[in-house]
Amino acid sequence: MLKKLFSTIVLWVSSLLFLAMDAHTQEQANIPSLWETFTPMFDIGVAVEPHLLNDENTPHILRHYRSLTAENCMKPNALYRPDGRGHFEPADRLVAFAKEHGLRLRGHTLVWHNQTPAGFFTDEAGNQLDKEALYARMEAYMTCVMEHFRDVVYCWDVVNEALADGGEETYRVESPWYKICGKEFLLRAFQTAHRIDPDVRLYYNDYGLLNPDKRAKAVAMLKELLAADAPIFGVGIQGHWDIHTFSPQELQKTIDAFAELGLDVQITELDMSVHHPGNREAPDGEKWEYTSEIEARQAEVYAQVFEVLCRNADRISSVTFWGISDQYSWRNYFPKKNRPDYALPFDRNWSPKKGFYSIVESFPKF
Ligand code: 9MR
């Protein structure tokens, strides 16, 4: 008798679980596809890590994104080896996935002060390289990496985050690149990349570009580079924004400023934090809970973003989200560890959030 009761309960529970799972799968299958929604306006892409390309995530990735960026595995600290041969195993899993499914691949990133091993800037004895030696290393590194990915990567973030955030300085003066070479490393990086692969599209990529001061620095820097004939194709506006300070007017001004220079624009690292920017503590009484009000506010802000992007579609070639779902977003551990964030259109269970719907609905509205 007890046995029978037990097996009936098991049957009931598993049927309920099955129905719940089925509803979830159905929900996934019935929602619009992000990339289909925005084709042919611009590519929709996503940042991934190779280990996330598993059976659970793959159908969602393929349904919503047509372009990939390596979140970490194509940065100098992943690829650079002092013997000059490069460490390509994890990145090649991404490459194989992109090739198998016909996805585009953005190269991220070649010249950066961050995530570049200290040994990149020193000789075998640990002495800092001089300018010419560093340029030789830059050339050797770029040749190794760009040749390796030549048949699959269609664009490179050649220089990442060279601009200073605040203050009078245009450039990030504490960068080893700047310390050793001065600002001329930028021109040199674009020239070198273009010589190695004249067909690949070359971008400058940075965050904070909606800030009027940083935008002005970017415009001044780009004008100088273009005046020196730098083979620069476009600018990556990273797009690490938040629901408290995002301004559609500033986004419009930034797109205008770069497009007026004749440059292509891409949004390369889009996410929309629900927290206040920087390291600021929460105001008294503020909770970290993701309430439905916050979710609704985030949806409004995502709609503002995509309304601007759609209106400027002829100047924007690609929009990449920085992470496949809230489960895997860097925002969960930066700038504060152990403070969950909810910055992406999909929740931790791959369910579409209000922001997802406001993004896909922004198109007919604009
Ligand atoms: O998302 C990346 C995170 O996993 C790394 O820990 C972090 C380390 O610098 O880099 C993150 O990606 C950054 C990107 O490469 C450049 N723009 C800012 C991104 C977020 O920090």
Residue nearest to atom 10 of ligand 1 (CA): 72
Q: Which residue's entry shows tokens 């909770």?
A: 287
Residue to substitute in 68, 69, 72 for testing ligand 1 pocket (most ligand atoms within 8 angstroms of CB): 72
Separation between Cα atoms, residue 79 and residue 76, nearest integer Å: 5
Measured from the CA of 47, which atom of ligand 1 is nearest? 1
Q: Which of 33-42, 52-61, 97-106, 337-346 has the lowest mean pLDDT?
A: 337-346
In short, whether 242's Cβ falls inside 6 Å of ligand 1 is: no
Separation between Cα atoms, residue 149 and residue 145, nearest integer Å: 6
pLDDT at 289: 86
Beta bridge partners of 78: none
pLDDT at 149: 98
Q: Give pLDDT tens digits for 288-308.
A: 789 999 999 999 999 999 999
Q: What percent of the chain has pLDDT over 70?
A: 90
Distance (Å) from CA 177 to ligand 1 centroid: 19
Measured from the CA of 160, which atom of ligand 1 is nearest? 16
- The set of residues, in sequence order, having a beta carbon less than 8 Å from that of 119 and lying 6+ positions away, is 82
Predicted confidence band of residue 48 (pLDDT cuts 50, 70, 90): very high
pLDDT at 29: 74
In short, whether 72's Cβ falls inside 6 Å of ligand 1 is: yes
pLDDT exceeds 60 at position 41:
yes
Q: What percent of the chain has pLDDT over 90?
A: 85
pLDDT exceeds 80 at position 3:
no
Predicted confidence band of residue 24 (pLDDT cuts 50, 70, 90): low
Residue nearest to atom 14 of ligand 1 (CA): 71
CA 315 distance to own-chain centroid:
19
Predicted confidence band of residue 37 (pLDDT cuts 50, 70, 90): very high
In short, whether 39's Cβ falls inside 6 Å of ligand 1 is: no
Residue nearest to atom 19 of ligand 1 (CA): 269
pTM: 0.93
Q: Residue 100: how many CB atoms within 10 A of its CB?
A: 9
pLDDT at 366: 73
In short, whether 114's Cβ falls inside 6 Å of ligand 1 is: yes
Segment (H or E) for 144: helix 131-148
pLDDT at 353: 98
Q: Which residue's entry shows tokens 């050649």?
A: 158
What sign results for the dihedral spanned by CA atoms 290, 296, 298, 299? positive
Catalytic position from the list 27, 36, 71, 161: 161
pLDDT at 30: 87
Q: Give pLDDT tens digits for 74-110.
A: 999 999 999 989 999 999 999 999 999 999 999 999 9
CA 344 distance to own-chain centroid:
12
The larger pLDDT score, comparing residue 196 to residue 23, is at 196
Predicted confidence band of residue 315 (pLDDT cuts 50, 70, 90): very high
Distance (Å) from CA 72 to ligand 1 centroid: 7
Q: What is the mean pLDDT of residues 333-337?
A: 86
Measured from the CA of 49, which atom of ligand 1 is nearest? 4
In short, whether 335's Cβ falls inside 6 Å of ligand 1 is: no
CA 311 distance to own-chain centroid:
21
Predicted confidence band of residue 5 (pLDDT cuts 50, 70, 90): low
- The set of residues, in sequence order, having a beta carbon less than 8 Å from that of 16 and lying 6+ positions away, is none
Measured from the CA of 238, which atom of ligand 1 is nearest? 17
In short, whether 333's Cβ falls inside 6 Å of ligand 1 is: no
**Which residue from 259, 256, 263 is spatially nearest to 225, judged by alpha carbons?**
263
Q: What is the mean pLDDT of residues 242-261?
A: 98
**CA atoms within 13 Å, Cβ hemisphere of 71:** 17
Separation between Cα atoms, residue 324 and residue 321, nearest integer Å: 7
SS3 track for 155-206: EEEEEECCECCCCCCCECCCCHHHHHHCCHHHHHHHHHHHHHCCCCEEEEEE
pLDDT exceeds 80 at position 279:
no
Residue nearest to atom 8 of ligand 1 (CA): 115
**Which residue from 362, 361, 360, 324 is spatially nearest to 343, judged by alpha carbons?**
324
Predicted confidence band of residue 16 (pLDDT cuts 50, 70, 90): low
Q: Residue 246: how many CB atoms within 10 A of its CB?
A: 19
The larger pLDDT score, comparing residue 27 to residue 142, is at 142
In short, whether 43's Cβ falls inside 6 Å of ligand 1 is: no
Catalytic position from the list 269, 281, 286, 295: 269
pLDDT exceeds 80 at position 1:
no
Based on the residue annotation, tell me whether 56 is a catalytic residue of this protein: no
pLDDT exceeds 70 at position 284:
no
In short, whether 271's Cβ falls inside 6 Å of ligand 1 is: no
Based on the residue annotation, tell me whether 361 is a catalytic residue of this protein: no
Please provide the distance, in angstroms rounded to a whole number, between the alpha carbons at the two ends of the chain: 64
Distance (Å) from CA 71 to ligand 1 centroid: 7
DSSP E strands: which ranges in the chain? Answer: 43-48, 67-70, 104-111, 153-160, 201-206, 234-237, 240-242, 264-273, 316-321
Predicted confidence band of residue 182 (pLDDT cuts 50, 70, 90): very high
Beta bridge partners of 160: 205
Predicted confidence band of residue 313 (pLDDT cuts 50, 70, 90): very high
pLDDT at 203: 99
Q: What is the mean pLDDT of residues 255-263?
A: 98
C-alpha separations of 292 from 107, 177, 355 in Å = 36, 45, 11
